[in-house]
Structure 1
Amino acid sequence: MSDQPYLIPSAPSQFEEEIKKSVFITYLAHTPNIASAKAFVEQIKTKHSDARHNCWGFVAGRPEDSMKWGFSDDGEPSGTAGKPILAQLAGSGVGEITAVVTRYSGGIKLGTGGLVKAYGGGVQQALKTLQTIEKKITTKLLLELDYGFMAILQSLMPQFGAQEISADYSEAVSMVVEIEVRQVDDFTQTVVNKSGAKVNVTALDKL
């Protein structure tokens, strides 16, 4: 369900390990969309431009929205880096996240199985220390009402977690509130009932 909240990173995470003289550095960051995911990848590539490989994967939206997934082996054998990275991210239940794993090769071949384990394992370890917060899916409503109904509205808003964004106090009151999508129907119904249908509620944006 697109109105359900989901976890996103609240701070970057990093994990480094050495495997058979190859150094693997895993970076995790919050990237709310594909553009920011790609920008983060480029940032790490620039930072480690002397590394042989900067492999990556991202989940640039809701955790289950595979239309916003991406990955790259960046020169490693096909399927040994990008897919294991993405698999860890997709299985974490965290959205809006990008992982870049930088490899400084030590000259000892790890084999395909070793690479899969190294790239996937680095992301797995970084995820263990990742701090997350819950992202609630919100929308905005326009409320139009006479001043006499303000007391009703002000008592109902905290019950449903509605936040005032802006208000125009002229002959009547026009107020824009932000509210979690899951609460819209109940909030609207309650406002209409309590005001005898004298408060007009309009959705300003649809998901």
Structure 2
Amino acid sequence: MATFTIAARVEIELDIRKSRFIGIVMPVADREAALREVERMREEHRGATHVCWALMAGGQSGMSDDGEPSGTAGRPMLEVLRHHDLDGVLAMVVRYYGGIKLGAGGLVRAYTDAIASALKNAERTERVAQAEIEIGVVYSAEPQLRHWLAQHKYQLLDSRHDTLAHLRLRLPAAELDQAEAAIRRVASNASIKRII
């Protein structure tokens, strides 16, 4: 079954009984990246009453009600992401309290609506599993290898040089075996280490 992510960050705003709800959905690589974004929103919205979040990211999924009554924010947001078959997506809602209590049911509706509204404006894309490898080659083979990488549009993440030239790249996991065979044709003495 295909899983999906979203192409870019989307932000919307809802006013519900004088409370301001800012709903944000965005693609993220992992839980660490998601928590950095949550902290960034807390810094940006210091006057907010709550910054609740939900993350769908395989085994790294999680959620937080950030002081709202238990189960009224994080879980409903996570359910919206799950309902849309999303993965690698962070949902956040920044709430500025307006003085009127919404009750548990009203909070669940508000947090659900904020994320559902943001997702209406988000472009869904199929999520392609990625892999990372590190290639070690003699210096004389590096130009041919870089040319091959450019032709295939694989993402070069890092390079370092010691006794060998080391290139770290990201590519679709489904192309890994085929890419390794091609790399060995380009640089017969290449060492290839799968990172993830």
Give the TM-score of the pair, scaled to structure 1.
0.66
- Residue 189 to residue 5, structure 1, CA distance change in 2 (3 Å): farther
Out of 19, 23, 30, the position equivalent to 1:27 is 23
Deviation (angstroms), 1:23: 2.6
Gaps of 5+ in 1: none
Shift of 1:158: 4.3
Residue 109 (structure 2) aligns with = 117
Distance change in 2, residues 1:184/1:201 (3 Å): farther
Partner residue of 1:100 out of 49, 73, 93? 93
Change (3 A) 1:55 1:12: same
- Larger Rg computed on CA atoms: 1
Task: Give yes or no for the alignment of 1:201 onto 2:191.
Answer: yes
- For these two proteins, the number of residue pairs brought into alignment is 188
SS of residue in 1 equivalent to 2:46: helix
Matches within 5 A, 1:101-180: 101-107=94-100, 110-130=102-122, 137-145=130-138, 147=140, 151=144, 153=145, 156-158=148-150, 160-163=152-155, 165-166=158-159, 174-180=165-171
- Tell me the distance in 1 between the aligned counterparts of 2:110 and 2:180: 52
How far did 1:99 drift?
0.6
The Cα shift of 1:70 comes to 1.7
Deviations 1:113-170 (A, max 9, x none): 333222211111022224677687342322424747965x466434543355547599
Gaps of 5+ in 2: none
Distance 1:8 1:121 in 2: 18
Superposition RMSD in Å: 3.9
Q: TM-score, normalised by structure 2?
A: 0.69
CA deviation profile, 1:42-87 (whole Å, cap 9, x unmatched)? 3365132xxxx4251221xx6333x4312216243x3222321222
CA distance in 1, matches of 2:7, 2:142: 40
Q: CA deviation at 1:97?
A: 1.5
Greater shift, 154-163 or 176-185, is seen at 154-163
